[in-house]
Chains A and B, each alone.
Chain A
Amino acid sequence: MAEEKKLFKVTIDNITIDVEPGTSILNAARMIGGDVAPPAMCYYSKLKGSGGKCRTCLVEVAAGSTADPRPMPKLVASCRTNVMDGMVVKNITSERVIDARAGVVEFLLLNHPLDCPICDQAGECHLQDLGYDHGKEGTRYEFGRRTFHKHDLGPYIQLHMTRCILCYRCVFTADQLTNKRVHGVLDRGDHAEIATYIEKSLDNDFIGNVIDVCPVGALTDKTFRFKNRVWFLKPVDAHRDCPKCSGKVTLWNRGDEVYRVTARKDQWGEVEDWICNECRFDKKLTSDWVIEGPTKVSRQSVISQGHYVGVKRPKETLGEVLEGRKPRLLMDIHDVSEVNKPNIELSKIAGPAHSDDFSKK
């Protein structure tokens, strides 16, 4: 008789699901999806040992398990805490979590240069998304921001240490994907930095993946530097026969021109298959690749703005979180205001809406 696997029942923000023992709270929440999934800036499912550092994924455990229903006194990092049977977790339904998370976002942005206008990561930066979703409008920090002595990581990878959030993902990548790690963290505390020891450049077939795992613009593609804005490019899935890696990539095109090659990423922004440096940096002709079709882009992403093919609607969990109650619309602007002429359907206007379209005449 096949032994039936016992599943654990876990309730996150009032939504209950069954997951296998050994699943982290974060991954359980991701199975539910939508807003219930905590933001994760350092955890990366493909990198062993990652997570626990950024503290954006903190959640409240309101009941430890059926066997021991006591709440956990501190908020826990959901990426590094496994579910127990009967656990009750509060993420967006916990005031404590929202407060602590706003604190973490503020800490992460404290020394960040906010140089998005000149940053190649803008538009696909997880810190931008995080700040937008969970941060406050302003900062209370009145001091000069941190600067670093510049390190050159070689011809392919650009390091902007000032933007780094020290998630350690690139260190794990260098450690786990390449055979000789020369990349790591030097110094400690708020003066800790990602670098190579004594200015060694990174020359390894798979080191380019550090660019894809970096949630911010600290590690970017030098061959794409300042070439274009990601939201002006169309991502298409493509592949080639590569002796070193899977050869499955996303090309970032404008017209027929390949501007950039990255690994394919899933809905959590994680690389699906690691790719080699040759695919990433040296194959920049359409003829190098077999095109499969447009990449599916999350509707939330700014990249979807120029590219409505293959856009996926994110899952809407609010109804369930509120246990069937409808979110209370405080004010429907269309009901009370005629300013925007509700009879005008934006989608029917040719080109972007203009003040002429709403003229009072």
Chain B
Amino acid sequence: MGRKLLLEKAHVEGIRTYDVYRREGGYASVEKALKNMSPDQVTEEVKKSGLRGRGGAGFPTGMKWSFLAKPEGVPRYLVCNADESEPGTFKDRYLMEFIPHLLIEGLIVASYALGSSRTYIYIRGEYAWIPDILEQAIAEANANGWLGKNILGTGFDCQIYVQRGAGAYICGEETALIESLEGKRGNPRIKPPFPAVKGLWDCPTVVNNVETLAAVVPIINLGGEEYVKIGVGKSTGTKLISACGNINKPGVYEIDMTISVEEFIYSDEYCGGVPNGKKLKACIPGGSSVPILPANLLFKTAKGDTRMMNYESLSDGGFATGTMMGSGGFIVLDEDQCVVRHTLTLARFYRHESCGQCSPCREGTGWMEKILKNIEYGKGKMSDIDLLWDIQRKIEGNTICPLGDAAAWPVAAAIRHFRDEFEWHVLNPVESQQRNFGLAHYADPRPVPATA
């Protein structure tokens, strides 16, 4: 059984309350950091830990912190991104609901490292019941001297505020989040300047994901060097995976990144296999934006190696034959699922969530949805498939924020790996309305190129 650092205590009776959390060793990292370490030492420890952002992009957190501009007399802000709206991703929700003090603890340590005296949690509006849980935890932390003025007599002041979003996926993009937090329309900003220089109220700002900030707690408790030992290569520590789709045991799992994808899906400890004896057809391992993989590329890389649940292995082969760890939203599709329909669902999502600022994303997402709808409902043409490819190509890389890319990639990957399923829809307009394409050859072993 893999090591757990975040959810180990999540099911201790009453862990949501301060007393139990503290009894189980909570807030030790705040004591350690504030009493024995300088802010820079905390950042250094996070750097050593190799922690990578858990929000999707996987950017090294310590490095991000060290980029924060520190001009004299200008406040700096830490903002916790709890907007979690990527389809398939629900790990932050779990963490905040079950063990809210872990996030608050991580936030205090991170705020200390970054010099943020006003720290914000921006939480998606649909998580309507969680702000109460968080605010309760914040109130308890205040009452016990972990927040407020002169914390532990160190002279460090810190307060945490919870702000609810109004129901927009785009407000998870860090600069849109900042705009929204400032009370404006949640449009992503044009970068540069980056938040590290000009973020919230034009002050230097770090935006980090909930899980990233929670992971700071075990990093400080164990020390960066110990943390590195859990995991492999540049995938250090543990990662929360929210698994859903056609599996026996959907839920949130903490993995230590040394297990294989196959084991994760089929072992009883995790997903428990595909229900009803069905076969696995495809999987999106990191949230809706990352490329979908057919079964035969999921368990083995193009080179024939076993694919592992970590950053490097999942992206092995680039976009041609690999995918991404993303936010850890693990979506499994069995043989009864239709990839065209599934791609249409995602295209609809991105069309609906585009902020509409830049032309390629605003117009291209709607166009892709319409074409996919035609193909799915038996009204497509062969040329539509190439047209889709060309549209996604013209969106990708040409937009203000990565939502454009996130809309393009699922379409590109679906066509790349499942082109025959699209063609089947076009060639069999009647039959495609009555049955699914099925598993076809998507689980057949791929020939492994001979290595010299």
Residues in A lying within 8 Å of B, measured CB to CB: 51-56, 58, 74-75, 77, 80, 99-100, 103-104, 106-108, 110-111, 140-141, 143, 165-166, 168, 184-185, 187-192
- A190: which of B168, B354, B398, B400 is its contact (CB, 8 Å)? B354
Cα–Cα distance between A339 and B382 once the two chains are bound (Å): 44
Cα–Cα distance between A77 and B191 once the two chains are bound (Å): 10
**What residues on B are CB-neighbors of A51 within 8 Å?**
190
- B358: which of A55, A141, A184 is its contact (CB, 8 Å)? A55
Q: Which residue of B lies closest to A193 (CB)?
A: B356
CB distance from A307 to the nearest CB of B (A): 33
Residue of B351, B353, B356, B400 with highest tally of chain A CB at under 10 A: B356
Supposing A58-B398, A188-B355, A192-B362 touch, asked if A143 and B370 sit within 8 A by C-beta, the answer is yes
**Is B359 engaged at the interface, CB distance under 8 Å to the other chain?**
yes
Q: Which residue of B lies closest to A109 (CB)?
A: B363
Q: Is the CB–CB distance between B356 and A100 below 8 Å?
A: no
Supposing A55-B399, A80-B190, A185-B185 touch, asked if A110 and B356 sit within 8 A by C-beta, the answer is no
- A103: which of B351, B353, B357, B360 is its contact (CB, 8 Å)? B360
Q: Is the CB–CB distance between A166 and B362 below 8 Å?
A: yes
> Per-residue CB proximity of B373-394 to A under 8 Å, as 1/0?
0000000000000010000001
**What residues on A are CB-neighbors of B168 within 8 Å?**
188
Q: Which residue of A lies closest to B373 (CB)?
A: A143
CB distance from A318 to the nearest CB of B (A): 26
Q: Which residue of A lies closest to B403 (CB)?
A: A189
Q: Is the CB–CB distance between A55 and B185 below 8 Å?
A: no
CB distance from A239 to the nearest CB of B (A): 37
Q: Which residue of B lies closest to A166 (CB)?
A: B356
CB distance from B395 to the nearest CB of A (A): 8
**Is B364 engaged at the interface, CB distance under 8 Å to the other chain?**
yes
Q: Is the CB–CB distance between B399 and A111 below 8 Å?
A: no
Q: Which residue of B lies closest to A171 (CB)?
A: B185
Q: List 12 A-B contacts (CB under 8 A).
A: A52-B358, A75-B398, A80-B190, A104-B360, A104-B398, A107-B360, A108-B359, A110-B366, A188-B356, A189-B366, A190-B365, A191-B356
Cα–Cα distance between A51 and B400 once the two chains are bound (Å): 11
Cα–Cα distance between A54 and B190 once the two chains are bound (Å): 12
**Is B352 engaged at the interface, CB distance under 8 Å to the other chain?**
yes
Q: Which residue of B lies closest to A52 (CB)?
A: B190
Supposing A77-B190, A110-B367, A190-B362 touch, asked if A103 and B398 sit within 8 A by C-beta, the answer is yes
- B359: which of A54, A75, A80, A140 is its contact (CB, 8 Å)? A54
Q: Which residue of A lies closest to B362 (CB)?
A: A190
Q: Is the CB–CB distance between B359 and A53 below 8 Å?
A: yes
**What residues on B are CB-neighbors of A52 within 8 Å?**
190, 358, 400
Residues facing A in B45-73 (CB within 8 A) are none
Q: Which residue of B lies closest to A146 (CB)?
A: B366
**What residues on B are CB-neighbors of A106 within 8 Å?**
394
Cα–Cα distance between A103 and B360 once the two chains are bound (Å): 8
Residue of B185, B364, B387, B394 with highest tally of chain A CB at under 10 A: B394
**What residues on A are CB-neighbors of B185 within 8 Å?**
184-185
**Is B170 engaged at the interface, CB distance under 8 Å to the other chain?**
yes
Q: Which residue of A lies closest to B400 (CB)?
A: A52
Question: Which 3 A-B pairs have CB atoms at the shortest separation, nearest pair first?
Answer: A103-B394, A192-B356, A52-B190
**Is B445 engaged at the interface, CB distance under 8 Å to the other chain?**
no
Q: Is the CB–CB distance between A55 and B365 below 8 Å?
A: no
Cα–Cα distance between A141 and B369 once the two chains are bound (Å): 12
Supposing A74-B397, A75-B398, A80-B190 touch, asked if A104 and B362 sit within 8 A by C-beta, the answer is no
- Given A52-B358, A143-B370, 9 more A-B residue pairs with CB atoms under 8 Å apart are A52-B400, A53-B357, A53-B359, A107-B359, A110-B367, A111-B363, A111-B366, A143-B367, A187-B356
Q: Is the CB–CB distance between B365 and A189 below 8 Å?
A: yes
Supposing A52-B190, A107-B359 touch, asked if A189 and B367 sit within 8 A by C-beta, the answer is no
Q: Is the CB–CB distance between B352 and A189 below 8 Å?
A: yes
**What residues on B are CB-neighbors of A104 within 8 Å?**
359-360, 394, 398
Cα–Cα distance between A63 and B360 once the two chains are bound (Å): 25
Supposing A100-B398, A110-B367, A190-B366 touch, asked if A55 and B359 sit within 8 A by C-beta, the answer is yes
CB distance from A37 to the nearest CB of B (A): 19
- A188: which of B170, B387, B399, B400 is its contact (CB, 8 Å)? B170
CB distance from B348 to the nearest CB of A (A): 11
**What residues on A are CB-neighbors of B364 within 8 Å?**
107
Q: Which residue of B lies closest to A75 (CB)?
A: B398
Supposing A52-B400, A100-B394, A100-B398 touch, asked if A190 and B360 sit within 8 A by C-beta, the answer is no
Residues facing A in B339-355 (CB within 8 A) are 351-355
Residue of B168, B359, B367, B399 with highest tally of chain A CB at under 10 A: B359
Cα–Cα distance between A171 and B394 once the two chains are bound (Å): 27
**What residues on B are CB-neighbors of A108 within 8 Å?**
359, 363
Q: Which residue of B lies closest to A107 (CB)?
A: B363
Q: Which residue of A lies closest to B397 (CB)?
A: A74
Residue of B185, B362, B363, B365 with highest tally of chain A CB at under 10 A: B363
Cα–Cα distance between A55 and B190 once the two chains are bound (Å): 12
Cα–Cα distance between A70 and B387 once the two chains are bound (Å): 33
